[in-house]
Structure 1
Amino acid sequence: MRVIKPVGRDAAVRKYDILSALTAHALASDAQSQRLVLRLTVLITARYNWQRDELITGQKEIARMWCVDERTVKRDMARLRAMGWVIVKRQGARGRVSVLGLDLDRIMIDTRPSWTNIGEDFVQRMTGPEIPSAADNVVPFRRLDMPNQGDGLWRRVCEQLQTEDAAIFDAWFRPMIETGQAEGVLSLTAPSRFHATYLRTHLLSRLQSALRRAEPGMVAVRIEAP
């Protein structure tokens, strides 16, 4: 699956693709999930800043928009954070509301089973190569039994990444080595400077999303070169 970034020349098309994936996913889900995705979609279309990846809206305003009470807003936003779709970029304090963001990569991965309901053209567009293509630019690594991942947190993250996209995992995530954990940050070392730069530029959000799912208390990934 290619990285989705709704900015630049094709921004409008990418935004429609994300909204199409969300709504198709909702229609294929149960009533409770449909309501949750609809509420998120309203927030995206009405208040989300695509350029800055920011959603700055207080619970009172969201409650009015959703036609619910603030307790329902608190509950549903917690569900969206637990899913990894909504992330807290800056916690609210002293009367200021929290600054939220969207993990678009996570959203597209989770909605992928419903893409065929939109059409094969949509699936083909969404499953195009990464930029640059991992298959075209990296010598494939021989499949091993995850020798670098150990038995703890990084192994759990790797298992999730491999399930989501085995080709991307083999090319970019498998060679990474865990070098430590401190204050909610997982430190990894890449096999080369180029490898580290590519991960930071193209795949960091996917990596951080998998980390939060494996261990909600972790907040970031540090990628180092040898």
Structure 2
Amino acid sequence: MQAIRPAGHEGASRKYDLLTALAAHALAGDQHRQRMVLRLMALITARYNWQRDELAVGQAEIARLWAVDERTVKRDMARLRSLGWITVKRQGARGRVSVLGLGLDRILLDTRPEWANVGPDLVARLGGAPEPAEPGDSPTVVPFRRAGGGEGAAGAVWAAARALLSAEDRGAYEAWFAPLADAGVEDGQLLLLAPSRFHASYVQAHLQQRLVTAARRCDPSLAGVRLRAE
């Protein structure tokens, strides 16, 4: 997938592509999903700072924009955070509102099934094809052994999360997520074992948010995901 770049000569079109992808995703969903996405789009267009990836708006202001009460704002913002569409960059304190960001990669992953509803031009611009390797990455994917799904409640969570990760990006799943083994829950976090230190470091650096989002969608009580090397 292409990253949404706010700068450069294609910056403006990339912003419209993101909003278009969100709109197509909403239109393919039920009324609850449509309302939530519309509210997020209103926040993006009215208050999101693309250059700094910052959304610093108080609940009262959001409630006024959405024409709802603050209780509804708390509920929908919590849902957007659980989806990984909104991230907390800096927690509010001493009268200051929290500084939020957009989980752009997560939004693109979740809206990808609806890109074709807009047309092949959007699919091509946003990169429906598998991602190329980053500069410096080895072009060869080492075929690590496949890990088992684990047993018990934690194993069921990891099995469900693996299914989500496989469905959204098969290439990344086969190369990086499939070799991870469930090792239970520790201090409220799902513990996964990687086949090497390099493998654990790469996932933590490049794919950790995808991993946490998938796990928390399967079990919202999880505080996060921690990796260890075998």
Give TM class, smaller chain: 0.7 to 0.9
SS of residue in 2 equivalent to 1:55:
coil
Q: 1:135 to 1:38 in 2, by over 3 A?
A: farther
Provide the alpha-carbon RMSD of the alignment: 3.1
Q: 1:148 to 1:205 in 2, by over 3 A?
A: same
Cα contact 2:150–2:183 (8 A) shared by 1 = no
TM, length-normalised to structure 1: 0.79
**Counterpart residue number, 2:207:** 203
Cα contact 1:186–1:220 (8 A) shared by 2 = yes
- Which stretch shifts more, 92-101 or 133-142? 133-142
In structure 2, distance between residues paired with 1:8 and 1:219: 34
Cα contact 2:85–2:104 (8 A) shared by 1 = yes
Pairs aligned (count) = 223
In structure 2, distance between residues paired with 1:183 and 1:46: 39
Cα contact 1:3–1:131 (8 A) shared by 2 = no
1:4 and 2:3 matched: yes
- Which stretch shifts more, 115-124 or 96-105? 96-105
Q: Percent identity?
A: 55
**Counterpart residue number, 2:166:** 162
The match for 2:225 among 197, 218, 221 is: 221
Q: Aligned runs of 1:47-196 on 2, under 5 Å? A: 47-125=47-125, 126-132=127-133, 136-140=139-143, 146-147=147-148, 149-151=150-152, 152=154, 153-179=157-183, 181-196=185-200
Q: Which amino acid aligns with 1:162?
A: S
Query: Shift of residue 89 of structure 1?
Result: 4.6
Query: Shift of residue 121 of structure 1?
Result: 2.6
Query: Shift of residue 46 of structure 1?
Result: 2.4
CA offsets 1:83-130 (integer angstroms, 9 cap, x no match): 442344555444333333333233222222211122113223422333
Query: Shift of residue 157 of structure 1?
Result: 1.9
In structure 2, distance between residues paired with 1:185 and 1:62: 32
Q: 1:208 to 1:50 in 2, by over 3 A?
A: farther
- Structure 2 runs not aligned, ≥5 long: none
TM, length-normalised to structure 2: 0.78
Query: Shift of residue 225 of structure 1?
Result: 4.1
In structure 1, distance between residues paired with 2:54 and 2:226: 22
SS of residue in 1 equivalent to 2:220:
coil
